[in-house]
Amino acid sequence: MTAAAQRLLPILLILLATSLSQGFNHLTQRVLGGVKVCRTSSNDQTTRLLMSYDVENETKRQLYNIKNSSWKSNEWNWGYARGTGHDCASICRRRWSDKADRKKLVDALLNPEAYHSKHKSYEVPFEEVKLILGLLWQRAGRSHAFNEVLENMVDAKRYELDDEVLSALNFVTDVRDAFPDVALKKSHVDHMNAVAGEILHYHDHMVDRVEAFRIRRVCAGMVLEDMGFIENGI
């Protein structure tokens, strides 16, 4: 071995070890789902941080411990005075009657990494976030851009599939498309397009589920914020 090659060898070994460990992280992330190496980019700088949290409340459907609740249940009966939907809506209105709580929820949705780094095991179920959105969209009326998204939610065949990644991608796509109607600023629309684009650029098989759940939360938070959820409640 030449002297130059001897000097290069340790560097090559380090490069090899780094790429192997990145491959391993990627593998554990796919297998475990809850363990995740995520990228947060601030300006051009990319930081990797290891984050783990329990994804239970990204996929759990039952709400407020009420049997047969959730958008997918036959007893949900959205829009009627009898049904688990009606029962959950009353609880939901009470649960979010305080402005400070609403602000905390929106902040948590908009910044999932910061939230998870402090709260590893408490996450408002995404099904509840959908209920809040549903109540806001219902109040906004039929001519509203989100009416169609609400109808899909009521049908429960687009955001409630067995394939959780596809459900999240459908949700992100439809929310992104309707968002310009409620966005308070053009910059918010640009931000929504950029955030949704992070996963919608890829074929759904390439999307990591934790990443899909994270972006779904951010998109929901942006809608709640611009639709005045913090100020006006539901």
Instruction: Give 46's contacts (C-beta < 8 A, 6+ positions apart).
Output: 39, 40
Q: Is the dihedral of CA 62, 127, 89, 83 positive or negative?
A: negative
- Residue reference for tokens 């310009």: 180
Whose Cβ is closer to ligand NAG: residue 73's or residue 138's? Answer: 73
What is the C-alpha separation between 109 and 220, in angstroms, rounded?
7
Whose Cβ is closer to ligand NAG: residue 54's or residue 163's? Answer: 54
Q: Which residues make beta-bridge pairs with 51? A: 36
The secondary structure element, H or E, covering residue 212 is: helix 209-226
Whose Cβ is closer to ligand NAG: residue 115's or residue 159's? Answer: 115
Cβ atoms < 10 Å from Cβ of 191: 15
Whose Cβ is closer to ligand NAG: residue 127's or residue 211's? Answer: 127
Q: CA-CA-CA-CA torsion for 125, 130, 136, 140, nearest 10 degrees?
A: 170
Whose Cβ is closer to ligand NAG: residue 85's or residue 182's? Answer: 85
Residue 127 tokens read as 């099904």
> Could you give the count of Cα atoms lying within 13 Å of 3 in the half-sphere of its Cβ?
0
- How near is the Cβ of 168 to ligand NAG at its closest, in Å? 17
- How near is the Cβ of 55 to ligand NAG at its closest, in Å? 8
What is the C-alpha separation between 60 and 50, in angstroms, rounded?
24
Please state the φ and ψ torsions of residue 71, each to the nearest 5 degrees.
-60, -25
Whose Cβ is closer to ligand NAG: residue 125's or residue 134's? Answer: 125
Residues that bind ligand NAG (CB under 6 A): 54, 56-57, 67-68, 73-75, 121-125
- How near is the Cβ of 121 to ligand NAG at its closest, in Å? 5
- How near is the Cβ of 25 to ligand NAG at its closest, in Å? 22
- How near is the Cβ of 175 to ligand NAG at its closest, in Å? 22
Q: % helix / strand / coil in the chain, to the nearest 5?
A: 65, 5, 30
- How near is the Cβ of 68 to ligand NAG at its closest, in Å? 4
Q: Is the dihedral of CA 117, 65, 106, 184 positive or negative?
A: positive
Whose Cβ is closer to ligand NAG: residue 52's or residue 68's? Answer: 68
- How near is the Cβ of 64 to ligand NAG at its closest, in Å? 8
